[in-house]
Amino acid sequence: MAWILDGVAGLHAALVEAGYTVIGPTVRDRAIVLAELESADDLPYGWGVTLEPGGYRIRRRADSAAFAHSAGPQSWKPFLHRPRAKLWDARRTDDGFEVAETREEAPRYAFLGVRPCDLRAIGILDRVLTGDRYRDDAYAARRDGVFIIVVNCTEPGETCFCVSMGTGPGADSGYDLALTEFAGEGRFLVDVGTEAGADLLARIEHRPADPVTETRARAEVDAAAGRMGREMPAEGLRELMAGSLEAARWDDVAGRCLTCGNCTMVCPTCFCTTVEDVTDLTGEHAERWQRWDSCFDLDFSHLQGGSVRTSTKSRYRQWLTHKLGTWHDQFGSSGCVGCGRCIVWCPVGIDLTEEVAALRREGEKSDG
């Protein structure tokens, strides 16, 4: 059963009323970023984006659609897996030291406008950080109880390839509510995913969707699947990565890659961190901080005697073969959801779909 919602102002108000901090897209510094929305008016009505390898521009749309833009520079990752967080404090005592763990009151978030690709990315982070023997409690505390409102994608960007990765453009589970926007009409089709979603919907004005409207919404999402700006066939990707470790293409991409790590920062699933132990000037007080780290950093693989991966080639190879290949072995899925952020935010426009295609061609040539 689907419903119709006239605008999302009531939805936003109900979320705030229910005690949520609402995070969603808004225009800031000429980009569509994710930030706290004071009201539904903060949504980027009438803004779209133009994307290309190494390029991102917002542009005015002819209509007033709120969600007719694809991925911006952020994913939902920073809200769940903090870029920098204190793990504990320690102070010197007479017979040694004493450790006090950092206790954080986890915010109660509602995520408004999660793309299906990004929803899958959150699921991947869940598996990495909480799905194994050791659970990242800080992540879990932030993740538990996030109210998720998906907006199905009807406006894929030039660098999108969720269809190849099987993550979009529509979401079929993992959300509390899922919206499909009728661009420019101010109306949304609503699907309910959970009881919490149903409860929230019950608090705001909505009406049953007529079959014609529902069919039209589904057709819009289906049509979006045919308008992906990129493709990267998933079949055989894992084997391609495993079999390409000595490919010549790595030298080619290493000639362009700056090892800046932007791709890992914008990636919604890159989870790597490091810890930093710091002290104050007295030496009586120490802290441990965890912060995002990147496999492109030279120190990332440092061992006594030097780093394992010193060349650019080996670091790009580590990133790509992990993301598309060994991630399966480690965490049971691909690490890529096809959002295209790494293509857009690469300062030299390295496009992983192009790199994969080149590796495929090279593999076929050497097979033949």
Q: Which is nearer to another protein, 14 or 122 (CB)?
A: 122
Question: Of these, 271, 296, 316, 345, which contacts another protein (CB under 8 A)?
Answer: 271
Q: Annotate each residue in 165-204 with x if it binds another protein (CB under 8 A) or - if it does not, as one string.
A: ----------------------------------------
Query: What residues form DSSP beta bridges with 58?
Result: 49
Question: Of these, 195, 246, 364, 367, which contacts another protein (CB under 8 A)?
Answer: 246
Judged by DSSP in three states, 171 sits in coil
Taking the C-alpha atoms of residue 345 and residue 264, their distance in angstroms, rounded to an integer, is 10
Q: What one-letter code names the amino acid at 204? A: I
Give residues 101-120 in contact with another protein (rule: CB under 8 A). Answer: 101
Q: How far is the CB of 205 from another protein (least distance, A)?
A: 44
Taking the C-alpha atoms of residue 14 and residue 259, their distance in angstroms, rounded to an integer, is 44
Give residues 141-160 in contact with another protein (rule: CB under 8 A). Answer: none
Taking the C-alpha atoms of residue 343 and residue 232, their distance in angstroms, rounded to an integer, is 13
Question: Of these, 36, 104, 132, 251, which contacts another protein (CB under 8 A)?
Answer: 132
Q: Are 48 and 58 in contact (CB under 8 A)?
A: yes
Chain Cα centroid distance, residue 204? 29
Q: Which is nearer to another protein, 172 or 329 (CB)?
A: 329
Distances (CA, A) of 199 to 64, 107, 192, 310, 322: 29, 21, 10, 54, 40
Q: Annotate each residue in 197-236 with x if it binds another protein (CB under 8 A) or - if it does not, as one string.
A: ----------------------------------------
Q: How far is the CB of 175 from another protein (least distance, A)?
A: 26
Q: What is the DSSP letter of 170?
A: S
Give residues 280-309 in contact with another protein (rule: CB under 8 A). Answer: 283, 286, 288, 290, 293, 295, 300-304, 308-309
Question: Of these, 58, 196, 311, 357, which contacts another protein (CB under 8 A)?
Answer: 311
Q: What one-letter code names the amino acid at 84? A: R
CB crowding 254-283: b at 16 or more within 10 Å, else e: beebebebbbbbbbbbbbebeeeeeeeeee
Question: Of these, 50, 173, 215, 330, which contacts another protein (CB under 8 A)?
Answer: 330
Q: Are strands 147-151 and 109-114 parallel, antiparallel or unpaired?
A: parallel
Question: Of these, 2, 35, 90, 234, which contacts another protein (CB under 8 A)?
Answer: 90
Distances (CA, A) of 274 to 263, 302, 327: 17, 12, 19
Stretch of 35-43, 130-138, 148-156, 167-175 contacting another protein, by CB under 8 A:
130-138
Question: Of these, 50, 173, 215, 274, which contacts another protein (CB under 8 A)?
Answer: 274
Q: How far is the CB of 80 from another protein (least distance, A)?
A: 13
DSSP 83-96: SEEEEEEEEEETTE
Distances (CA, A) of 287 to 80, 85, 88, 316: 21, 11, 6, 32
Q: Which is nearer to another protein, 152 or 321 (CB)?
A: 321
Total number of residues that touch another protein (CB under 8 A)? 51
| 259 lies in the site for another protein, by CB under 8 A | no
Interface residues toward another protein, by CB under 8 A: 87-88, 90, 92, 95-97, 99, 101, 128-129, 132-138, 245-246, 271-275, 277, 279, 283, 286, 288, 290, 293, 295, 300-304, 308-311, 313-314, 318, 321-322, 325-326, 329-330
